[in-house]
Structure 1
Amino acid sequence: MRTNICRMMTKLQNISENTLFHQYFKEWFELYKAGAVREVTLSKYYINYKRLVQLAPTLTLGHINRKTYQQLLNDYAKTHERQTTMDFHHQIKGAITDAVDEGLIDRDPTRKAVIKGKSPSQKKPKYLNQFELHALLSDLDLGPVPNWDWMLLLIAKTGLRFAEALGVTPKDFDFNHQSLSVNKTWNYKDARGGFQPTKNSSSKRNVQIDWQTIMQFSQLVKTLPEEKPLFVQGPVFNSTVNYQLERHCRRMEVPVISIHGLRHTHASLLLFAGVSIASVARRLGHSNMTTTQQTYLHIIQELENQDNDKVMRYLAGLN
């Protein structure tokens, strides 16, 4: 371990203005980000490194300026939507900021960068309404042993993330208090699997469950090993579970949504039912309410319009 760190430090010390930028970027994130960020985030750094090799194979640190950096962003944006380009910019900017601090680049070329992107593709429906969800749930095959349909039910009733649902064990249920402890996830992106921490500290939470659902799960898990994940029997693929969900959606003639769409459905129905944004944020494990507000802005605006109508009717009745 120490040898690897020394080798990496030596590489960075040998960096000059003639060093290829993609080489600097790779050595930078391997030193500063590996072990400090989640594996999924680190994989995005590797993906962006490969994009740098494709888009700017000969660009050196000494040739990075506002013009060359903007051209890099423009080239990336030709095949990516604006939000993806923004994510690319943020990761690249981190390395460039350090290069400026180290005197490898004269001034920050990312200042006032213009983020572009191709037109967004037509978005699939993100959530179902109450009647569509009821139809979907009625089509689930909830047999005596755990299967993907049981996991669809759990996500629909709790709003768990996919990896959180995979990490659920019988021990996580508190049947007396009708709640589920979310305290870990399952690393389904690695063929070896295994438990891993939640997305952030706010993701650790207790989620209340309605009595009918908690009774169903109490019967399901009563003879199962307490610390073994309910839904993992081997390698897990997100696409497999999404396909199962799609089959139910098509059979019941409701909009086809993804597993993450079930989480959106859960939150959306709670907001429409009048549950506060703060409560929904805690239930979803969001780190702050801003995330919830941004994700469900369209619903919040619709609810505000309904509130305005109520206010006007009330004030008119005071005459």
Structure 2
Amino acid sequence: MTQELLLQDYFKQWMELYKRDAVRKVTYDKYQLTHRHIKRLAAELKLSDLTRLTYQQLLNDYAKNHERQTVLDFHRHVRGAIIDAVEEQLIDRDPTRKAILKGTKHRKHKTKYLNQFELRALLNELTLNDGVTWDYFILLIAKTGLRFSEALGLTPNDFDFSRQNLNVSKTWDYKSVVGDFAPTKNMSSVRKIQLDWQTVIQFSQLTKNLPDDKPIFAGDKRIFNDTVNHFLERKCKQANISVISIHGLRHTHASLLLYANVSIASVARRLGHSNMTTTQSTYLHIIQELENQDNDKVMKHLAALV
């Protein structure tokens, strides 16, 4: 029977045995996606027929429509299962050895964000009356740089109004049919975010009659990212500014802090990045622009010494 075992079936068994409930749901979903790709690209490939050639062909087929980093993730998933198959002596040798990772040319994804004047125009379009609305959701992300799932997972208990702090310790799993609280993206994402006094006043009023431990924005109905993005799009058009996404508001928050000469380390902590390298790579264009401004200042200062 081992001779007839398909790669896709072995990977599914391995995934369910070793990864289910051992990794975060969002990570397990990626393993499931890998399984679907194996099924699509090599439905009849038997585990016993795996060689360096057949495995390389699988990688090459996957790489036709994916960037190299995505191919690397796919390779890591499949290789993890195959290494275990080798240890179980289901196959004789490791066919993933010396595999060559290819992929489509990396596309530069332009970071979309608003400038200070555009953001002010957007905020002026928000209707901040009594009752929870997406207007408050947009305001909060603009003021804090929260991720979409982090903002959805907030409860009134997460606000420390006396210290002007917002405690981020969880997210909301909006991608599942029945939403529920979920862990943050990484340990660095567990953080305290300082709030300005206007936001403190607005949200202390908004949350005063809400259940302390229930999500403020995630109600009984399932929430889709597109729904909120479409709401934000309408607001942007009303303000006659560039249309951005909810994630673009997070970029806007970070970019305005950088332009205000807030240190990269402080911005990284506020965004919940695991390290400053992530912040630097995401906002490289802004950092380079600021460095050019600094160079001009340095030259002017040195010239004045003569």
Q: TM-score, normalised by structure 2?
A: 0.91
Aligned to 1:180: 166
Q: Distance in 1 between matches of 2:252 and 2:103?
A: 30
* % identical equivalent positions: 60
- Kindly indicate whether the alpha-carbon contact (under 8 Å) linking 1:69 and 1:110 is maintained by their aligned counterparts in 2: no
Counterpart secondary structure, 1:106: coil
Match of 2:118 in 1: 132
CA contact 1:85–1:117 (8 Å) conserved in 2: no
Contact 1:179 1:206 in 2 (8 A): yes
Q: Describe the shift of the 1:100–1:297 C-alpha distance in structure 2 as closer, same or farther (beyond 3 A).
A: farther
2:302 is aligned with what amino acid?
L
Other-structure match for 2:301: 314
3-state SS of paired residue (1:207): strand
Q: Which residue of 1 aligns with 2:283?
A: 296
Does the Cα contact within 8 Å between 2:172 and 2:180 map onto a contact in 1? Answer: yes
CA contact (8 A) 1:181 1:206 kept: yes
Residue 63 of structure 1, CA deviation: 2.9
Partner of 1:67: 53
Match of 1:257 among 241, 244, 247: 244
Instruction: After TM superposition, give the deviation of residue 266 of structure 1 in Å.
Output: 1.0
1:82-231 equivalences under 5 Å are 82-103=68-89, 104-117=91-104, 120=107, 123=109, 126-231=112-217
Shift of 1:55: 0.3
> Could you tell me which amino acid in structure 2 is paired with residue 68 of structure 1?
T
**Runs (5+) with no aligned partner, structure 2:** none
Structure 1 76/259 Cα, relative in aligned 2: closer, same or farther at 3 Å? same
Which residue identity lines up with residue 237 of structure 1 in the other structure? Answer: F
- 83 and 39 in structure 1: CA distance in 2 versus 1, 3 angstrom threshold: same
Cα gap change, 1:98/1:217 in structure 2, threshold over 3 Å: closer, same or farther?
same
Cα drift, residue 17 of structure 1? 5.8
CA gap 1:303/1:287 in 2 versus in 1, 3 angstroms: same
CA distance in 2, matches of 1:301, 1:167: 34
CA RMSD across the alignment = 2.1
1:66 Cα deviation (Å)? 3.3
Q: Distance between the aligned counterparts of 1:196 and 1:20, measured in 2?
A: 34
> In the alignment, what sits opposite 1:76?
62
Q: Whole-Å Cα distance in 2 between the matches of residues 318 and 260 of structure 1? A: 46
- Structure 1 counterpart of 2:254: 267
Deviation at 1:100, TM superposition (A): 4.0
CA distance in 1, matches of 2:264, 2:218: 32
Segments of 5+ residues of structure 1 without an aligned counterpart are 1-13
Match of 1:25 in 2: 11
Residue 276 to residue 102, structure 1, CA distance change in 2 (3 Å): farther
Determine the C-alpha separation between the residues in 2 that align with 1:47 and 1:128.
Answer: 34
The Cα shift of 1:108 comes to 4.8
Q: 1:82 to 1:143 in 2, by over 3 A?
A: farther
Contact 1:125–1:256 at 8 Å: present in 2 too? no
Partner of 2:225: 238
**What secondary structure is seen at the aligned counterpart in 1 of 2:98?**
coil
- Tell me how far apart the structure 2 counterparts of residues 187 and 281 of structure 1 sit (CA, whole Å): 23
Q: Please tell me whether the aligned partners of residues 155 and 165 of structure 1 are also in contact (alpha carbons under 8 angstroms).
A: yes
Q: 1:80 aligns to what SS in structure 2?
A: coil
> 2:71, 2:101 within 8 Å by CA — same for their partners in 1?
no
Alpha carbons of structure 1 residues 98 and 310: separation in structure 2 relative to 1, 3 Å = farther
Letter in 2 for 1:206: K
Q: Give, in whole Å, the separation in 2 of the partners of 1:253 and 1:66.
A: 56
- Structure 1 stretch displaced more, 297-306 or 47-56: 297-306
How far apart are the structure 2 equivalents of 1:249 and 1:124? Answer: 19
Q: Go from structure 1 to structure 2 and tell me whether the alpha carbon gap of 1:112 and 1:72 turns closer, same or farther (over 3 Å shift).
A: closer
Matched residue type, 1:222: K
Secondary structure of the residue aligned to 2:174 is: coil
| TM-score after normalising by structure 1 | 0.87
- Following TM superposition, by how much is the alpha carbon of 1:201 offset from its aligned partner in structure 2, in angstroms? 2.0
Aligned length: 304
* 1:212-261 deviation line (CA, Å, top 9, x unaligned): 11111111112222222111222211111111011111222222211111
Q: What one-letter code is carried by the residue in structure 2 that aligns with 1:209?
A: L
